[in-house]
Amino acid sequence: MNKPAPRGSRCCLLPLILVLLFSFILPSSAEPELTGYSRESGYVYIQLGQYPQTAEGEIRPILWRVLAADDTQCILLSEYILFARCLHADLKDYRDGIKGDFAKTDLCAYLNSVFASDAFTEEELALLLPLKDYGKIFLPSAEDLENKDYGLGITLKSVKNKKKILKDPGLRAWGTEWAIKNNGFDPSVYNKPKQKLIGSSGRETPLHDLRLFVYSEQWANHSPYWTRDPSTADGRQGRLIKAHGAIGRLEAGRDNIGVRPMILLAGDGYQVVSGTGAMDDPFVLGGKAD
């Protein structure tokens, strides 16, 4: 016959049983973590801010991919090209006056004034850190885009095959419907492609060149977007992503080149409110409670 366990041993087991029981019942208190790109798991995604996304101008959250993260900051790049705008209207000034300094461009000023006000609340802007003299909202550099630690420089260049490009987009990005079909020129009002209007360059430009340019089907219909770097070959030109998926150059006054913003999130200023970090279920962020 089995003897009952001594009373003392049963008392010692009780706390252990309770700990195990509550570990299954209570949710984990560990806060989800923002991590940078890795080959094994890819990207973590968050949503922060909002901006027009559809042709009709419907406001939706902005989706960001986390390129890198540490205790001090997280580097975020917009998943999509949000609008089209010239880098700097005055080409002579871009070359001889500001000498290609992004901090002094028309686009940098626009990002940190009109776009910042349209896309972020004051509370959301308080979560962001400035970079150099560029302000809190800026563009990626060519070095950023070619940094394989960020996962962007891994690309099939010069491939004219939609299936392969979509599988391995690399530096390529796609614009929102708003950028392609609207971009501040409501299609219900402005519907004549050859109509000339004043764009961000300050010049009369046909309507079809005032919205985001889209490459052909063989290039998977991605779009060009600016970097913050000037061309070293021609001082009137900025560097951008071109059809073949690599960095090229074009005059800074083009209205139909895309803007794919980059921001720095303060590493200790946010908390994850909801989401799993997947592209279709991004983390939603809020400021930390005092």
Q: What is the SS3 string spanning 42-77?
A: ECCEEEEEEEECCCCCCEEEEEEEEEEECCCEEEEE
Strand partners, 59: 52
How distant, in Å, are the alpha carbons of 26, 127, 285 from that of 49?
32, 11, 10
Residue 181 burial (10 A CB sphere; 0-12, 13-18, 19+): middle
Sign, CA torsion 61/62/68/72? negative
Question: What's the pLDDT at 33?
Answer: 81
pLDDT tens, per residue, the chain with 290 residues: 444 545 454 445 555 444 444 444 434 445 688 999 999 999 999 999 999 999 999 999 999 999 999 999 999 999 999 999 999 999 999 999 999 999 999 999 999 999 999 999 999 999 999 999 999 999 999 999 999 999 986 666 677 888 888 888 989 999 999 999 999 999 999 999 999 999 999 999 999 999 999 999 999 999 999 999 999 999 999 999 999 999 999 999 999 999 999 999 999 889 999 999 999 999 999 887 66
Question: What's the pLDDT at 30?
Answer: 59
How distant, in Å, are the alpha carbons of 29, 44, 277 from that of 280?
24, 11, 8
Q: Report how far residue 67's alpha carbon sits from residue 153's, in angstroms, rounded to the nearest whole number.
A: 12
Angle CA 200–90–88, to nearest 5: 55
CA-nearest of 284, 108, 84, 280 to 177 is 84
Question: What's the pLDDT at 54?
Answer: 97
- The 3-state DSSP class for residue 88 equals coil
- Helix (H) or strand (E) holding 78, with range, is strand 73-78
Question: What's the pLDDT at 286?
Answer: 85
User: What is the DSSP secondary structure assignment for residue 235, as one 8-state letter?
Assistant: T
Question: What's the pLDDT at 114?
Answer: 98
For 130-180, the DSSP string reads: --TTS-SSB---HHHHT-GGGT-S---TT---HHHHHHS-TT-B-B-HHHH
Question: What's the pLDDT at 167?
Answer: 86
- In this structure, are strands 237-241 and 226-230 parallel, antiparallel, or unpaired? antiparallel
Strand partners, 175: 81
Q: pTM for this one?
A: 0.88
Strand partners, 251: 237
Contacts 24+ apart (CB under 8 A), 62-66: 62/119, 63/279, 63/282, 64/263, 64/282, 65/37, 66/34, 66/35, 66/36, 66/37
Task: Please give the backbone phi and psi of residue 275, each rounded to the nearest 5 degrees, phi first.
Answer: 95, 170
Question: What's the pLDDT at 168?
Answer: 85
Provide CB contacts within 8 A for 112, sequence distance 6+: 134, 135, 136, 137
SS3 track for 195-220: CEEECCCCCEEEHHHCCCCCCCHHHC
